[in-house]
Amino acid sequence: MPYGTENLFSATAAGTDSGATATQAAVANKNHVVTGIYGHADADALIRVTDGGTVIFESKVDVSVEGFSFAFPGINLLCATNSAAAGVISASSADCQVNISGYTIP
């Protein structure tokens, strides 16, 4: 990682049947790089990373095949300057959580 630990971020959100969104707020004149999205869901769901309102990563989680948790490490998604990064889990039946991690660059 080319930057110090002060540039690292992690955002987490928990949800119920309507899903959850973990957001890293935009920083003026800087870009976020999302390096992973992790979490759990108790029902099949779409997992997304968004750059502002634009989907830049999407995957489906099938709990009958993959189980309760999901992890997509090492994805290295560059968000636009002045844009928020978010991890979104579309739905669950009662319990879900999503976390995005990464770093911010000038």
The pLDDT of residue 45: 92
Q: Does 79 score more than 60 pLDDT?
A: yes
Kindly list the distances between the CA atom of residue 45 and the CA atoms of 9, 55, 80, 105, in Å, as whole numbers in the listed order.
Answer: 24, 15, 26, 31
The model carries a pTM of: 0.91
- CATH number of 22's domain: 2.60.120
In a domain, 55, yes or no: yes
Cα–Cα distances in Å, from 86 out to 23, 60, 63, 79? 4, 16, 22, 10
Higher-scoring residue by pLDDT: 3, 47? 47
Domain-located, residue 49: yes
What percent of the chain has a predicted confidence (pLDDT) above 90? 79
Specify the number of domains making up the chain.
1
Mean pLDDT for 79-95 is 93
> For 35, how many CA atoms within 13 A lie in the half-sphere containing its CB?
11
CB 13, CB 90: distance < 8 Å: no
- Confidence category of residue 31, pLDDT binned at 50, 70, 90: very high
Inside any domain, residue 3: no
Q: Is the pLDDT of residue 4 over 70?
A: no
